[in-house]
Amino acid sequence: MARAADLARANAARIDMVELRADFLDGGELPHLRRFPDMIGTPPILTIRRAAEGGRFRGGEPARRRLIAAAAGGYRYVDLESDVDRSFDEAVPAGVRVIRSLHDTGGVPQPLGRIVRELPRSPAEIAKAAVTPRIGREMVDVIEAARGLGAAGAGRERIVLGMGRFGVPTRILAAHLGNYLTFCSLAARSAAPGHLDPDAMVDLYRFRSIHAGTRVLGVVGTPLSHSRSPQLHNPALAAAAIDAVYVPIELDDLAELDRLARLLPLDGCSVTIPHKSRAARMSDAGETVRRVGACNTLVRTPNGWRGENTDVRGFLAPLRRMVPAPRRAAVVGAGGAARAVAFALRSLGTELLILNRTAERARALALEHGAMAARLDASGLARVPAYSELIVQTTSMGLPDNPGDPLAAYAFRGHEVVYDLVYGEGLTPILQRAREAGCAVIDGRQMLAEQAYEQFRLFTGREFPESARTPPAAPPAATA
Ligand code: NAP
């Protein structure tokens, strides 16, 4: 309890309330729960969660009820599950509000709206449903149910949220869902799946200034765990004083985006794996999208979605600072990102060799762009030296979930400029090897930033603020 109180005080600037999950405490502390409210400066919620709802309390219901009866008087709220018997309600003194909760760790029960409406046993209770969307459609179901409950207010207070990675928008957009509060916990000590850190919630997403009319932007795709787009767009929205928030929206089926746009003031989205081709087909596509066959930006218009591709300019901007007009280049990979790269390089007149694990895909892309194609094997690699002025790595290899270096069998000689689209915290294995061999390298984070600058312009009609820009990498040192 002392550690919990220290954490609460250390985070006091970012939180308005503390929930004591007493089921996480050592059993010896349970008789002293009443002391906790005096140890912190914020009004606490007392929760003793049973194992059946994902908690750790295994002491049985009579013991739980006794603990609540002994401690509840010192708390502002007590969380009680929807199925506990009346004796629990009687254990809570007048003046302490009950959060009447339902937890589903396996899915989203239906009809969720009606279930939430029927949770409170009196108008003074706050309904809480924490459910688990397993796919994007279920996340949109949660938002639809919450929105269907109408404006929140006295006697209709509720918390409707999705746990896990699909539920993240329901936590950040609490105001849009009419939620009474949202939960977060420290990244290093996460208390529930999908919790955001208070720093991320308040400093990155500006949770305190989000209201039901705040415009929503986001990145759609799956998986999104390594997307850095929120870290780029939210500080820019803040610096430009735009009343909008940019959230990760994990969707496995892009068709759900239309339903989401009917429920939220959604103005635009970045589109990532695996939806770029589908987005090109479902939108009123700009010329670059039509020619590249991939869309990474959807902007909402009165007639639906307009599709744009900012990867092309995003790719070219850091390249121009290093090699303004490469004569020959090798492109490794033939997926969606390679399509934008091939289009961009051909627009500079660069002759291309496209190498891919699946040779047919390399051949098909090469055919579209008048390029050469090869399989990513020893015979293909033997052709790279003739195209080695610039080597662009566009496969998804190089991240922890797909580790490695697709050109491991190619020895860099030092004159190559090596550009890796994949980005992580530091240099990817291929860029580390290239740098050790004396090559100039371009890191995927630069392209990510540049394509985001253009997206920002498309989303907001404003320039990406200078103060929120990532400084471009220094040009390579001259080599003898
Ligand atoms: P994609 O359409 O799924 O294509 C994946 C490509 O990677 C294909 O060529 C695939 O070859 C190849 N590949 C995957 N695993 C491989 C392995 N183990 N060995 C050899 N080749 C392998 O994906 P994408 O949209 O092109 O994106 C690719 C990467 O670029 C992603 O990591 C993405 O984050 C990054 N990207 C970065 C930016 C940026 O702004 N920096 C922009 C766009 C994309 P097969 O055809 O044989 O399957």
Q: What are the boundaries of each domain within the chain?
A: 2-188, 312-449
Q: Cα 309–252–175 angle (5° rounding)?
A: 85
Ligand 1 atom 13 nearest Cα:
395
The per-residue pLDDT string of the chain (480 residues; one tens digit each, 9 = 90 and over) reads 999 999 999 999 999 999 999 999 999 999 999 999 999 988 899 999 999 888 999 999 999 999 999 999 999 999 999 999 999 999 999 999 999 999 999 999 999 999 999 999 999 999 999 999 999 999 999 999 999 999 888 778 999 999 999 999 999 999 999 999 999 999 888 888 899 999 999 999 999 999 999 999 999 999 998 899 999 999 999 999 999 999 999 999 999 999 999 999 999 999 998 999 999 999 899 899 999 999 999 999 999 999 999 999 999 999 999 999 999 999 999 998 999 999 999 999 999 999 999 999 999 999 999 999 999 999 999 999 999 999 999 999 998 778 999 999 999 999 999 999 999 888 999 999 999 999 999 999 999 999 999 999 999 999 999 999 976 554 443 333
Beta bridge mates, 184:
196
Q: Which atom of ligand 1 is nearest to the CA of 294?
A: 25
Pocket test for ligand 1, best of 319, 361, 396 (most atoms within 8 A of CB): 396
128 tagged catalytic: no
Please give the single-letter amino acid code of residue 440: A
Instruction: Say how many Å lie between the CA of residue 421 and the centre of ligand 1.
Output: 9
Query: Can you give the pLDDT at residue 6?
Result: 95
Instruction: Find the helix or strand (DSSP H, E) in which 244 lies.
Output: strand 244-250
Atom of ligand 1 nearest to the CA of 337: 26
Q: Which class for 211: exposed (0-12), middle (13-18), buried (19 or more C-beta within 10 A)?
A: exposed
Q: Which of 394, 431, 455, 456 to mutate to test the pocket of ligand 1 (most atoms within 8 A of CB)?
A: 394
> Residues, the chain, total?
480
**Pocket of ligand 1, candidates 227, 395, 422: which has the most ligand atoms within 8 Å of its Cβ, to mutate?**
395
Of all protein residues, the one whose alpha carbon is nearest to atom 1 of ligand 1 is: 335
Q: Which residue type sits at 290?
A: R
Residues with CB under 6 A from ligand 1: 273, 276, 311, 314, 333-338, 356-358, 361, 394-397, 402, 406, 421-423, 444, 447-448, 451
The rounded Å distance from CA 362 to ligand 1 centre is: 13
What local confidence, expressed as pLDDT, does residue 473 receive?
53
Whether 307 contacts 283, CB under 8 Å: yes
Ligand 1, atom 20, lies closest to the CA of 357
DSSP symbol at 349: T
As given in the structure block, the two tokens for residue 13 are 């600037």
Which residue of the set 276, 300, 369, 433 is catalytic?
Answer: 276
pLDDT at 129: 98
> What is the CA(276)–ligand 1 centre distance, in A?
12
Q: What is the pLDDT of residue 471?
A: 65
CA distance 279 to 194: 27
- Domain over 2-188 is classified CATH 3.20.20.70: yes
How many Cα atoms are found within 13 Å in the side-chain-facing hemisphere of 180?
A: 18
The tokens of 326 are what? 């490469």
CATH topology of domain 312-449: Rossmann fold (3.40.50)
